[in-house]
Homo-oligomer: A and B are copies of this chain.
């Protein structure tokens, strides 16, 4: 369970951990591009540089690999997010940092974001229990912090739950809907400048939304 052991110092299982990490890294990309059913284990194996049968020595089933991919996605995302919400901090600063971190995740790990999004859109048939355990409590805690701020008159009285949904949606979309954005912008890729403009606009929206009159 404590599989977030990426340090090169650790010697135990070095070989196996390295191989697994390589497989997972490749699998994230292909699952994101083709979806769960659309992905062939053989395609992941080939891209990762081993045989299909050898891959299935490390991950006995396709679903096991898929769940491991989602585990790692959550590990990465939670590690970036857990320190952020500080009830005592200045709300505008906290929210700015929140937007920045979430947008950075969309920028740096778009495949991770997309795999998670596809699982959600399909109704989280495989992974809903993990989401309930690991994600929902954090989101509820964030909502509570927003509501404390409102009760203390530190931000305007808006719907805290839907404010969080809005934050999530706006930042997430720069990974999930980048294909459409690229078409609108007439670009092959989203650039650093695009992400800076996005961050500025979203931050502006949030700041003006929570400003007390």
Contact = CB atoms under 8 A, between A and B. Distances in A.
Interface stretch (A11-19, A61-69, A74-82, A131-139): A131-139
Contacts of A183: 124, 128, 131-132, 135-136
Q: Which range contains the number of A residues in contact with the other chain?
A: 35 or more
Contacts of A159: 197, 200-201
Q: Is the interface of A mostly helix, strand, loop or mixed?
A: helix
Contact of A211 (B122, B123, B169, B208): B208
Interface stretch (A31-39, A45-53, A85-93): A31-39
Given A208-B208, A209-B209, A120 B163 contact: no
B132 A121 contact: no
Given A140-B184, A166-B205, A170-B169, A118 B118 contact: yes
Interface of A: 32-38, 114, 117-118, 120-124, 128, 131-132, 135-136, 139-140, 143, 158-159, 161-163, 165-166, 168-170, 172-174, 176-177, 179-181, 183-185, 197-198, 200-202, 204-206, 208-209, 211
